[in-house]
Structure 1
Amino acid sequence: MTVSELTTSAQDYLKMIWSATEWSETPITVSAMADRLGVKPSTVSDGIRRLSKQGLVTHAPYGSIELTAAGREHAVQMVRRHRLLETFLVEVVGYGWDEVHDEAEILEHAVSDRLIRRIDEKLGHPTRDPHGDPIPSANGHPHTPQGSPLTSVSPDRTVTITRISDADPEMLRYFTELGLAPDTRLTVVAHRPYADVTTIRLSDRDVDLGPSAAEAIWVIAS
């Protein structure tokens, strides 16, 4: 079975399961998947059972969901499709980085492997998408994400943004206004846990970030 032979929901489930542990060590659960998809847990449970029968996942009752080797292969292919499409939409079509996630969610199920190869060639084989998420290689090898959450960086350290979560388009637009994007350099001034504020210094000003904004940013040492 190829990834194109899977149903749209199966493709979505596998991609979500894999992506959940790319930047976190916590495997995803049925309830968490249901929350993200906006469906009932019973609907997700039915889908997971079908994937289990196909040998693509393992799932202990009320426990986390794990991909099998075959499931992981299909999931990585879907992640590659999604991130190449996002990159193509930004670099070639002219979309904003806050506009591409939903478009790529639709297109990734319709494009052929041949078109994905052509897009990859057209873009010069990019290694990350507009948000900094690594793009798996053509042979299905996922590149290891680099970076640490901004919230974990000690004050007075200068760092470079390596990735910004694309979960919230409004937040991406906010970051655009602030001048925050992958490759932006900044200095962590202070974490104020009781005020839920992280203060960063850009080249010309200090900026206070709330918890959701600070948690969306991953950085590496400059």
Structure 2
Amino acid sequence: MPSAAVDDYLKTIYHHTEWQTAHITPSQLATELGLAPSTVTEMVQKLAAQGLVSHRPYGPIALTAEGEKRAAAIVRRHRLIETWLVREFAYAWDEVHDEAEVLEHTISDRLLEGISTRLGHPRFDPHGDAIPDAEGRVDRSAFVRLDEAAAGHTGQVLRVSDRDPALLRALEQAGIDVGHTVTVTAADAVRVDGGRELTLPDGAAAAVWLTA
């Protein structure tokens, strides 16, 4: 199996459970990867045979210890590259994902560690996702997704999903990016850093995580 394909599967499974607890199902994995369910089923069986995932027919998919280690390594590559592109090459946070998807499979371990050293070994990428260290460990604060936070809840923006570049741009324009303080005033409205009330862009409440 091509290494890049394996890494993409493991990375997607890893990412699914970072900000919620339910394991990914084969149909969800197929949707995330944009592949036919039959293709995903075949690949998951191969990953299970390699000891990288645990899975029973029609059940959810979980990473094994070995799968978690390999997934964390490729996630580390992706997020360090995103951070590098933003800090060193003035990329916007909505521009880095596709570049990192290509570069994560091509740069050497030596260059990756050089990038980490140059950046001061960052703990989080531009979207607030934790960057695993060289041993695969991450440090993540307790969190709540904005659409699940009660009215009156105040928290710092920990993470913004990078799935939709247009939404990232809209959130940045509204000042709702990592590190800012948000107070939930209604299901679709917030105050940012104590300022005036803002109506959230469509889809934003499900794409922003706050400190719990």
Query: How would you bin the TM-score normalised by the shorter chain?
Result: over 0.9
Give the direction of change, closer, same or farther, for the CA distance of 1:122–1:173 in structure 2 (3 Å limit): same
Q: Does 1:207 align with 2:203?
A: no
Question: Deviation digits for residues 172-212 of structure 1, max 9, x if unmatched?
Answer: 01111111110111221122xxxxxx211124321112562
In structure 1, the residue matched to 2:95 is 99
Q: Distance in 1 between matches of 2:210 and 2:92?
A: 22
Q: Identity of counterpart residues, as a percentage?
A: 45
RMSD between superposed Cα atoms in Å: 1.6
**Aligned twin of 1:80:** 76
The code of the aligned residue for 2:135 comes to N
2: CA distance, partners of 1:211 / 1:21: 24
Q: How does 1:179-198 map to 2 (within 5 A)?
A: 179-191=175-187, 198=188
* Normalised TM-score (structure 1): 0.90
Provide the secondary structure at the position in 2 that maps to 1:200.
strand
CA distance in 2, matches of 1:144, 1:159: 15
TM-score (norm 2): 0.94
Aligned partners of 2:150, 2:14: CA distance in 1, in Å?
30
Q: In structure 2, what is the Cα distance between the partners aligned to 1:165 and 1:175? A: 11
Per-residue deviation, 1:101:
0.8
Q: Runs of 5+ in structure 2 lacking a partner? A: none
Aligned residues: 211
Does residue 1:140 correspond to 2:146, yes or no?
no
Alignment of 1:1-222 (within 5 A): 7-191=3-187, 198-202=188-192, 203-209=194-200, 212-220=203-211
The verdict on how the C-alpha distance between 1:58 and 1:35 changes in structure 2, with shifts beyond 3 A counting, is same
Moved more, 50-59 or 150-159: 150-159
Q: CA deviation at 1:37?
A: 1.4
Q: Any conservation in 2 of the 1:137–1:143 contact (CA below 8 Å)?
A: no
How far the C-alpha of 1:124 sits from its partner, in A, is 0.3
CA distance in 1, matches of 2:65, 2:102: 25
